[in-house]
Structure 1
Amino acid sequence: MIFRTSTGENVYVSQERIPVYWGDFSQVEAILILLRLALAEQRRFDYFVLLSGTDYPLQPVSYIESFFASNRGKEFINIVQMPCEAVGKPISRLTTYKPSPGDSQIARIMRKLLVTTGVSSVDRDYKSHLRNLVPHGGSEWWALSREACEYIQSFVDNKPQVVNFFKHTVCPDESFFQTIIGNSPYKARTQRNLTYADWSGGGANPAYLTKIHLEFLTATASMTLDDLYGTGEILFARKFSDEAEEIVLWLDQLISEKEDRVTKRCT
């Protein structure tokens, strides 16, 4: 209730709530719930941007709106064909059977027993499940056109066998949407995503951003990244720590100054 009273009228909260676990299909489920809700909204949004609570914009709203208007028809999603070890997307993410956190202890024991006795394999034949779909992977965060999101929703509604397969894969949030888009007409329109993250330290999570990061990211009017996912401008950054209020306030001030400069040029 405290959160709800502190947000604006343009913030919508889904009434459908589910527990979400890192690296689990519940992340995909939560995204699909939000996507379905947004697509059903009376206002027809042109783009849908997936962000987390640790993300923050690097540009004013007016700049971001202008960017999407100027790049209409493009899909901003990091995407590579799997396997791709260079970006940490091994095929084992699909072949390894991952139990769901909600699985009962009996189900886990039965699964282990079947593997131990040789009745079931540790690895799964992903090709028999995906059939003619080529697996793709990438980063969780994306910005997709309305048409691409409607395609995803239709795919989910009409391909339950594929959805069920991904329920027991590793980090499906980094392959489910990529595989759908990677086997669609929208693949030809893809560009790298719009979110910066610092993975230089290695490990399972990107580094928390500091003022040094932000001084680098905001040194010019716009920032372009060039990496294994391609070249493109970035509009958002992550991860910001819950204790990073001073950094966020500094960034807010910077964004406000940019907005003021744009306003002055237009008046």
Structure 2
Amino acid sequence: MKIAYLIIAYNNARHFPRLIRALNTPRCGFFVHIDKKYDITAYTAVRGQNIVFSRNRVPVYWGDFSTVEAILIVLREALQSAEGFERFVLLSGSDYPVRSAESIERFFESHRETEYMNLVPMPSKALGKPLTRLSYYRPGPLTPPWLLFTAKALMKLHLWPHRNYRKVLGNMKPYGGSMFWALTRNAAQYLLDFVDRRPDFLRFYRNTYCPDEMMLQTILGNSPFAPNIQRNLTYADWSARGRSPEWINRKHLDLFKTTVRFPPDDPYGPGDMLFARKFSEDADDLVEELNRIIAEREAGG
């Protein structure tokens, strides 16, 4: 099983070599987008014939369409590679596997037709995916602060003008989910083919809130691949209900000692864990302990 790992990174350069070492095998490749706002040389010290740093870099902003742009850049590069990758796995630069690289490859070999992507119909109050993410026009990140302040105030008062998303989606049902996924080659190619023939789709999502959690999900949720979609494989602790997940700490290592599966009461349902986020740059001891946990668990069968 040839796996292309698509990594979107920005400010976690010390963790990056750990991630590469943990996943690196002769059968995989890494396609890396480094946020243009950051110094790429902190990353390119990690070298390998199977590591490709994208020369086409964009400045990435939280909740903005620039995240989708970065994803499409590395996805396109991986699909165009002569290596003929069969599985495309999207990760962040702060992720780390909770199983060995060999175990991950065996997992995907045993699930060749399954697409892994968190997906819920919108609106979903339980998962914080209201239709206003689509209908409100979101100004870009470089909009003057006074205008951003005015826009946020009007949104809270429900006075901000709404857009008719049906003009673009047509009969497509809107879906939301999480940014990260693991797709087959056919599904990945379907995404690129769709965005290439529907520039209007990209223009619409450019001014939505967190389009990385909606646009590709809506495309695949309305595709022939929809029946094969299962929950994503990346663990994140959102218990604090903040804008980003909690940092991985020792309480999470206790979890990984006992299970690498999501429970039935998880908001996206049960399923396998292959990766976790997010690890800090200073997580050397945590990563070493996690490596021991993985080795002991897999040695025990």
TM range (shorter): 0.7 to 0.9
Structure 2 contact 136–160 (Cα < 8 Å) conserved: no
Structure 1 contact 60–258 (Cα < 8 Å) conserved: no
Decide which structure has greater helix share. Answer: 1
Residue of structure 1 aligned with 2:267, choices 228, 242, 247: 228
Structure 2 contact 261–270 (Cα < 8 Å) conserved: no
Residue of structure 1 aligned with 2:52, choices 6, 9, 12: 12
List per-residue Cα deviations over 1:174-215 (Å, max 9, x = no partner): 001100001100111000000111111112111111111112
| Residue type of the alignment partner of 2:211 | P
Q: Which residue of 2 aligns with 1:132?
A: 171
Residue of structure 1 aligned with 2:180, choices 138, 141, 151: 141
The structure 1 segments of at least 4 consecutive aligned residues displaced by more than 2 Å after TM superposition are: 5-9, 222-226, 252-259
SS state at 2:225 partner: helix
SS state at 2:282 partner: coil
Instruction: Please list every run of 5 or more consecutive structure 2 residues that lacks an aligned counterpart in the other structure.
Output: 1-40
**In structure 2, distance between residues paired with 1:182 and 1:2:** 37
List per-residue Cα deviations over 1:93-115 (Å, max 9, x = no partner): 00110111245x5xx69x97xx9
List per-residue Cα deviations over 1:56-86 (Å, max 9, x = no partner): 0000111000000101100000001100111
Deviation at 1:257, TM superposition (A): 4.3
List per-residue Cα deviations over 1:16-66 (Å, max 9, x = no partner): 011000000000000000000000011111111110011100001110000
| 187-196 vs 245-254, greater mean Cα deviation | 245-254
Q: Which residue of 2 aligns with 1:243?
A: 282
Q: Which residue of 2 aligns with 1:66?
A: 106
> Which of these two proteins has the greater Rg computed from alpha carbons?
1
Q: Aligned residue pairs: how many?
A: 251
Residue 154 in structure 1 maps to residue 218 in structure 2? no
Deviation at 1:9, TM superposition (A): 2.6
TM-score, normalising length: structure 2: 0.78
SS state at 1:156 partner: helix
Structure 1 contact 77–193 (Cα < 8 Å) conserved: yes
Structure 1 contact 225–234 (Cα < 8 Å) conserved: no
Residue 205 in structure 1 maps to residue 244 in structure 2? yes
Distance 1:9 1:253, change over 3 A: farther
Instruction: Please list every run of 5 or more consecutive structure 1 residues that lacks an aligned counterpart in the other structure.
Output: none
Decide which structure has greater strand share. Answer: 2
| 53-62 vs 127-136, greater mean Cα deviation | 127-136
**In structure 2, distance between residues paired with 1:131 and 1:121:** 23
Deviation at 1:242, TM superposition (A): 1.9
Structure 1 contact 129–165 (Cα < 8 Å) conserved: yes
Tell which has more relative contact order, 1 or 2 (C-alpha 8 A, sep 6+): 1
TM-score, normalising length: structure 1: 0.88
Structural RMSD (CA) = 2.2
